[in-house]
Amino acid sequence: MEMNGGRWMRRRVIATVGLLLAGVFRTGGAQTPEERAAARDLLAKRSDAVVMVLATVKIRMSTGGHEQTGDQPVEVNATVLDATGIAVASLSTLQPESMMARMAQRSGAAQPQMSSELTDLRIRLADGREVPAQIVLRDPDLDLAFLRPTEPAATPMPSMSGPSGKPSTMDLVIGLRRTNEATDWRPVASFGYVQIVIERPRTYYLVTGGNALGSPLFDTSGRFVGVTVMRNAGGRAGPSLSVLTADEIREMVKQVPGKS
C-alpha cells in the first residue's frame, strides 16, 4: 500500500508539474481590426523580451519510508526586465515542491517530504542562442524567480522598458508568450479581459483565460502590465493564475544582488 501510494503521489506530482509548466492560455472574444493590428505590432516589437528557461528539475520524494526520484524537463516562459538580461519566471515552474506542499495542506492529505534540484539552467533567447543562467533571487510568497545570465551580455538585451500599464476591470489586454520546442519556440499573442483588480495586500489582475506562467501582459497601448504567476491567497482559497503588476516586479528586482 505504501508503494502504491508512493507511485500515486509521484504521478500526481508529475501531472501537477506538467500543468505548472504548461500554464493556461486561451483567446478572448472578437476584437476590432485596430485591436488586432495593435496586437501584431506588439508581437513584432516586444516578443524578443519574452524568453524560454530550459533546465531539468530532479524531484526527490519520500513517502512511507520509500524514496523516489524523477527528472522533469523544463521549458517555461520568462520575461526579461532590463538590458543586462535579468529575467523573471514563475518560481512554481522551477521549484514545484512549495506548490505541492500547499496543495497537500489544503486537501488534508499526508504531505510527502519533497525537494527539487535544477540542473543545466539556460535562457533561450529570441535569436535561438542558449546562455547559461542562475537564479539570483527567489520569492515563494509572490511566486517569483529572478534569473540572470552567468556571463554579462555582450550587447543590451531587449527588455520591458517604458511606463507601466494599469488597466481597469473589463479593459482589453494582450498576453505574449513563447511556445515550446515542438513548435520551434515561436512567439504568440492572445487577447484577454481584466475580470477583477485585487488591491490588497498587493495589486493583482485576474484576467480571462490567464496566460502562460512567467509571461508578460500588456495593455492595448503596449505598456507592460505585469507577469502571470501562481497567486496564493491563503486560507481555503487555492492557488490561482493571476497577474502581478509591473510596478511590484520592478520594485522586487531592486533586491537582486549586484543590481545597481
- Give the pLDDT of residue 126: 96
| Domains within the chain, CATH numbers bracketed | 2-253 (2.40.10.120)
Strand partners, 58: 71, 117
Q: How high does pLDDT run on average in the chain?
A: 85
Q: Is the pLDDT of residue 27 over 70?
A: no
Of 58-72, 120-134, 206-220, the poorest mean pLDDT is in: 58-72
Question: What is the rounded CA–CA span in Å between residue 124 and residue 78?
Answer: 10
What would the pLDDT profile of 228-246 be if each residue is shown by its tens digit?
999 987 666 667 899 999 9
Contact at 8 Å (CB) between 114 and 13? yes
3-12, 37-46, 96-105: the lowest-pLDDT one: 3-12
Q: Which residue has the cell 529572478?
A: 146
Q: Is the dihedral of CA 69, 75, 76, 80 positive or negative?
A: positive
Instruction: Report how far apart, in Å, the C-alpha atoms of 110 and of each of 58, 197, 224, 236 are.
Output: 22, 35, 41, 17
Predicted pLDDT of residue 147: 97
What is the pLDDT, as a whole number, of residue 164?
97
Question: Where do the DSSP E strands lie in 27-159?
Answer: 50-63, 66-80, 87-90, 113-124, 130-139, 144-149
d(CA 130, CA 1) in angstroms, rounded, equals: 44
38 versus 105: which is more confidently predicted? 38
Span 89-98, average pLDDT: 86
Handedness of CA 258, 138, 156, 152 (dihedral sign): positive
| pLDDT at residue 72, as a whole number | 86
| pLDDT at residue 101 in the model | 59
Cα 29 to the chain's mean position, in Å?
24
- In angstroms, the CA 225 to CA 216 distance is 7
- How much of the chain, in percent, has pLDDT values that exceed 70? 79
Q: What DSSP state is assigned to residue 97?
A: H
The three cell numbers locating residue 41 = 505590432
For 108, 217, 233, the CA distances from 111, given in Å and listed in that order, are 8, 34, 20
As a whole number, mean pLDDT of residues 65-89 equals: 91
- Residue-by-residue DSSP string for 116-150: EEEEEEEEE-TTS-EEEEEEEEEETTTTEEEEEES
Q: Are 156 and 192 in contact (CB under 8 A)?
A: no
Stretch 98-114: mean pLDDT: 61
State how far the Cα of 87 lies from the Cα of 145, in Å rounded to an integer: 8
User: In the structure, what pLDDT confidence band is assigned to residue 192 with cuts at 50, 70 and 90?
Assistant: very high
pLDDT at 217 over 90: yes
Mean pLDDT, range 178-183, rounded to an integer: 94
**H or E, element range at 42:** helix 33-46
pLDDT of 62 over the 90 cut: no
Report the C-alpha gap between 136 and 144 in whole angstroms.
11
